[in-house]
Amino acid sequence: MTAERIRPVPLPGTQHFINPKQIPAERDFVALSAFGATVRWGGVIGAVFTLIMAVYLILDGALGLGSTGVARLFDLATNPIIGLLIGILATAAIQSSTAVTALTVTAVGTGGISLTVAIPIILGANIGTTITASIVAFSYIGDRASFRRAFASASLHTWFNTLFALAAFILELTIQPLSRFADIVSGSVSGESPSDTGRGLFQLYSPLIDALGVDGLLGSLFDRRLAAVLAILIGTLLVLGAIRFINAQLSVLTAATTRTLLERSSGASNALGVTSGTLVTMAVNASSVTVSSLLPFAVARTLTMREALSVTLGANVGTTLMSLLAALAVPGQLGALAVQAALVHVIFNVVGTMLVLLFPPLRDRIIALAEFSGRVAARGYSVAAAAMAVGYFVFPALVILLYTVIF
């Protein structure tokens, strides 16, 4: 009997979180029954419901602490450089810029931090998220040519996000282009009256928050101040968990569509590549998943570096959806500020994408830097790993620690 004939075949309907049988995860996307898909979509809907509830639980805790108490939680981030490093470190640690950005936007909605404080954290999150694809590239260790191409493809994300985030950071410190433009756009997104933002959702969730929050279960079990802190912590954990769960389920539910879109990016125009990257990322709710999915195509040379860059740019645009959703859930006058913070994320990625598409020399420079990174990393795996550890973790943590001790 040949190896081909005894190869295990995925069983229809197998679901990892219901019935985790011995089916490789990368093949599970072909094994969804109608029942299994329905259960997963139900899980996604429930997670979105939980995510919005978590936002309101955080807001409830912030209200219990008062604006002064909330501000103390974010005192460290008032220094813009420290805010940038916090965004890098936090996102690299949990590998989800979506979660960090959504939490930052929610913090703006609580009144705990200003838009000026939030922007560096959001820009830092855009840098921190690039670690994921670079880590995935290390799965090609053993074949230097494959590793070089994989790491170069991942580095497209790293160089674009890092260069544009640092440029935006410097500009924001001087002439505030992101916050100014977001202020103009936020009025049309949140409505004529900022207080209308999220009012309908708030009324829907209000009975549940009243029952569970500072004036409900938590308040009956703990001192009011402690209950407020616990509400913020529990809400934060729920946001992280809900986004992780949504990512996991959508990655499976949309895997076949994702693969088709990425395959069709081969030989496609820049615009189609960006569109594919945007749609894929909106489907899986994680730009790092989209960028990591490009690596096998880059290794097999199915996609050129130009095509991979176009999809990567689209992934950056698509990842802004969840933070905008979190912002729109914030009620009251602070809702407009939350929307403005989310729009900073949108504007940064959209403008950066347009600049790269409109100026080919800029695109070529990013590709050249990524290919250089691939060649250097392929010469020494340990050097590449050490550079990543220092850049994403050691340096930001050390600077934050020193700042805390000195100031």
For residue 343, the model assigns a pLDDT of: 83
Global pTM exceeds 0.85? no
For residue 137, the model assigns a pLDDT of: 87
Q: What is the mean pLDDT of residues 152-163?
A: 93
Q: DSSP letters along 300-332, please? A: TTSS-HHHHHHHHHHHHHHTTHHHHHHHHT--S
Tokens 């949504």 locate to 246
> Mapping DSSP to helix (H, G, I), strand (E, B) and coil, where does residue 21 land?
coil
Helix axes 395-406, 80-94, angle to 10 degrees: 140
Tokens 């009256």 locate to 193
Q: What is the mean pLDDT of residues 81-109?
A: 82
Q: Is 331 left (phi over 0), alpha (psi -120 to 50) or beta?
A: beta
Enumerate the domain spans of the chain. 33-406
Tens digits of residue pLDDT in 345-354 = 888 888 899 9
pLDDT at 209 over 90: no
Q: What is the mean pLDDT of residues 214-225?
A: 79
Q: What are the Cα distances from residue 162, in Å, to 156, 167, 280, 321, 403?
A: 10, 8, 22, 21, 23
Distance CA 151, CA 292 (A): 10
Q: What is the mean pLDDT of residues 41-51?
A: 79
Contact 239, 103 (CB under 8 A): yes
Distance CA 217, CA 219 (A): 5
pLDDT at 228 over 50: yes
Look at 123 and 281; give whichever has higher pLDDT: 123
Look at 154 and 223; give whichever has higher pLDDT: 154
**Residue 300 burial (10 A CB sphere; 0-12, 13-18, 19+):** exposed
Q: What is the mean pLDDT of residues 301-316?
A: 86
The tokens for 245 are 């769960």
> Mapping DSSP to helix (H, G, I), strand (E, B) and coil, where does residue 13 land?
coil
Percentage of the chain with pLDDT > 90?
A: 12
